[in-house]
């Protein structure tokens, strides 16, 4: 699997080298995006659910000359911390987010800062204290981060980014954490 990813990236990167650098066009365009993420949870929430993984799919609208309005949804699954023995405990999230990404420059390598917010629809069968209770919660979610978009070829790019999130869960255990994301975007 690792080899396949490596070969894919190499092909894309080589393609970018061969075809891309001669172009001087703008890269900031409307896109569809697919992102994978790993989250390191913090605080009291992180003492139970220490990490999470998931994926986003989204659509973004470009505004000249720096801005990208992003809308996305996805699926996030929290994992219990080692040593926490809650039986068959699950905690999953469907995020619905909207926000903005600000690109400092419009070029092949585009560093950015971004702010996303929206709601998390959270499904859990066990609360932080370990009591079994099926619950569906709708909570405000917020994150801010930075990263870089690399335009491999004219309409294809990859993103890497790091974000801090402070999502509502309960006062004694907010869903805070650092989120690391890797994505692929297709410009339309």
Partner 1 sequence: MDELVPTNFQKIHILIFVLLIFLSSGFCQEDGTKQTEPGQIALYSNYLLSSNTQSDLLGSGTMKSLAYKENFNNKWGTVNLPPEVMDDNFKPWESEKHFWVGAGEIAILEFIPWALARWIRHWEDPADNWAKVSSASWWRNISHGWEYDGDNFETNNFAHPYHGALFFNAGRTNGYDFWESTAWALTGSAIWEYFGETFRPAFNDWVYTGVGGVNLGEITYRLSSMVTDNTASGSDRFWSEVFGTLINPVRGVNRAISGEMGYNFPNPEWNRPDDFLLTFDAGTRTIDKNGDKEFRDKELEGLFSLRLAYGNPFKAKKPFEYFGLNLVVASGLPHMTQLNSTGYLFGWQLDKNKNRFDVNLDFNYNNLIKQEIAQGDTTYKGFLFGTTQLYPHLLSRFSIGEKTELITQVGINTILMGATPNDYYVDVEGRVYDFGPGIGTRVYASIQNGIWSYFNLLYYAAWIWTQTEPSDSKHHIHFLILEAQYPFTTYFAFGVSAGLYWRNSYYENFPDVSKNHPIIRVFFKTAIIDI
Residues that bind partner 1 (CB under 8 A): 42-44, 46, 102, 115, 140, 144, 164, 166-168, 171, 174-176
Complex with partner 1: residue 157 or 177, whichever CB lies closer: 177
Q: Which residue(s) pair with 59 in the sheet?
A: 32, 71
Complex with partner 1: residue 57 or 172, whichever CB lies closer: 172
User: By the 8 A CB rule, do 35 and 56 touch?
Assistant: yes
> Measured from the CB of residue 169, what is the shortest distance to partner 1 in angstroms?
9
> Measured from the CB of residue 166, what is the shortest distance to partner 1 in angstroms?
4
Q: Which of 142, 140, 139, 149 is nearest to 164 (CA)?
A: 142
| Residue keyed to tokens 């799919």 | 57
Q: Which of 73, 76, 62 is nearest to 149 (CA)?
A: 62
Complex with partner 1: residue 152 or 177, whichever CB lies closer: 177
> Measured from the CB of residue 113, what is the shortest distance to partner 1 in angstroms?
9
> Measured from the CB of residue 86, what is the shortest distance to partner 1 in angstroms?
21
Length of the chain: 188
């Amino acid at each position: 699997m690792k080899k396949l990813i490596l070969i894919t990236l190499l092909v894309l990167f080589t393609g970018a080298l061969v075809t891309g650098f001669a172009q001087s066009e703008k890269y900031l365009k409307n896109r569809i995006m697919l992102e994978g993420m790993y989250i390191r949870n913090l605080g009291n929430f992180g003492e139970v659910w220490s990490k999470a993984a998931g994926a986003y799919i989204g659509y973004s609208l470009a505004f000249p000359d720096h801005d990208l309005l992003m809308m996305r949804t996805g699926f996030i699954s929290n994992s219990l911390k080692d040593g926490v023995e809650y039986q068959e405990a699950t905690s999953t999230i469907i995020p619905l987010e909207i926000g903005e990404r600000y690109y400092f420059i419009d070029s092949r390598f585009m560093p950015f800062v971004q702010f996303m917010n929206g709601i998390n629809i959270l499904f859990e069968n066990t609360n932080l204290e370990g009591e079994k209770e099926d619950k569906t919660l709708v909570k405000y979610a917020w994150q801010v981060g930075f990263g870089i978009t690399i335009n491999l070829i004219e309409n294809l790019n990859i993103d890497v980014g790091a974000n801090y999130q402070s999502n509502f869960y309960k006062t004694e255990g907010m869903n805070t954490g650092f989120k690391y994301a890797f994505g692929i975007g297709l410009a339309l």
